[in-house]
Structure 1
Amino acid sequence: MRKALMIFGKSLLALLSLAGVALLWLTGWLVWHYQYGIGLPTESTLSALSSTDHVCAAGGRGAFVRLADIPPLVRKAVVAFEDPDFYAPPSAGPLMQFALAAISNRRPTGSNISLSVTRYCLKALSPQCCKGIDWHIGNWVFMGRVERALSRDRILEIYLNGTYFGRNANGVVMAAEAYFGKPLAELDVHEIAFMLVRARRPHRSQGYDGSTRDLVIDRMLKAEVISEAQAVAAKAHPPPANNKPIDGQNTPINR
Structure 2
Amino acid sequence: MIRLIGYFFGIGAFLLLGVAGAAALYLGVVTKDLPDYEVLAKYSPPVTTRFHAGNGALMAEYARERRLYLPIQAIPDRVKAAFISAEDKNFYQHPGVDITGLARAIAVNLQNFGSGRRPVGASTITQQVAKNFLLSSDQTIDRKVKEAILSFRIEQAYSKDRILELYLNEIFFGLNSYGIAGAALTYFDKSVTELTIAETAYLAALPKGPANYHPFRKTEAAIERRNWVIDRMVEN
Q: What is the TM-score when the length of structure 2 is the normalising length?
A: 0.68
Q: Is the 2:86–2:205 contact (alpha carbons within 8 Å) kept by the matching residues of 1?
A: no
Q: Which amino acid aligns with 1:23?
A: V
Change over 3 Å in CA distance of 1:110–1:197 after alignment to 2: closer
Does 2:167 correspond to 1:159? yes
Q: CA deviation at 1:207?
A: 2.7
Equivalent residues in 2 for 1:164-175 (5 A)?
164-175=172-183
Equivalent residues in 2 for 1:12-91 (5 A)?
18-34=14-30, 36-37=31-32, 39-42=33-36, 45-46=38-39, 49-50=41-42, 53-54=44-45, 61-90=66-95
Q: CA deviation at 1:18?
A: 5.0
Matches of 1:26 and 1:109, distance apart in 2:
27
Does 2:119 correspond to 1:117? no
Matches of 1:108 and 1:142, distance apart in 2:
22
Matches of 2:16 and 2:22, distance apart in 1:
10
Matches of 1:217 and 1:117, distance apart in 2:
24
Change over 3 Å in CA distance of 1:22–1:108 after alignment to 2: farther
* Structure 1 gap ranges (5+): 1-5, 224-255
Q: CA deviation at 1:193?
A: 1.3
Equivalent residues in 2 for 1:1-255 (5 A)?
18-34=14-30, 36-37=31-32, 39-42=33-36, 45-46=38-39, 49-50=41-42, 53-54=44-45, 61-90=66-95, 94=97, 112-123=124-135, 132-204=140-212, 205=214, 206-209=217-220, 210-223=223-236
Matches of 2:7 and 2:198, distance apart in 1:
70
Q: CA deviation at 1:157?
A: 0.4
Q: Is the 1:118–1:143 contact (alpha carbons within 8 Å) kept by the matching residues of 2?
A: yes
Change over 3 Å in CA distance of 1:50–1:13 after alignment to 2: closer
Q: Secondary structure at the match of 2:41?
A: coil
Summarize deviations over 1:177-216 as a string: whole Å, max 9, x none.
1011121111111111121222323123433311111111
* Structure 2 gap ranges (5+): 47-62, 111-118
Q: Which has the higher contact order (CA 8 A, sep 6+)?
A: 1
Q: Is the 1:193–1:213 contact (alpha carbons within 8 Å) kept by the matching residues of 2?
A: yes
Q: Which amino acid aligns with 1:76?
A: A
Q: CA deviation at 1:29?
A: 1.4
**Count of aligned pairs:** 206
Larger Rg: 1
Matches of 1:203 and 1:147, distance apart in 2:
31
Q: Is the 1:98–1:108 contact (alpha carbons within 8 Å) kept by the matching residues of 2?
A: no
Residue equivalent to 2:49: none
Matches of 2:88 and 2:177, distance apart in 1:
22
Change over 3 Å in CA distance of 1:11–1:83 after alignment to 2: closer
Q: Secondary structure at the match of 1:79?
A: helix
Q: What is the TM-score when the length of structure 1 is the normalising length?
A: 0.64
Q: Name whichever structure is richer in strand by fraction.
A: 2
Q: Is the 1:67–1:153 contact (alpha carbons within 8 Å) kept by the matching residues of 2?
A: yes
Matches of 2:105 and 2:83, distance apart in 1:
29
Summarize deviations over 1:198-238 as a string: whole Å, max 9, x none.
23231234333111111111122223xxxxxxxxxxxxxxx
Give me the CA root mean square deviation: 3.8
Change over 3 Å in CA distance of 1:142–1:177 after alignment to 2: same
Q: Is the 2:79–2:200 contact (alpha carbons within 8 Å) kept by the matching residues of 1?
A: yes
Q: Which amino acid aligns with 1:86?
A: F
Q: Secondary structure at the match of 1:165?
A: strand
Q: Which amino acid aligns with 1:49?
A: A
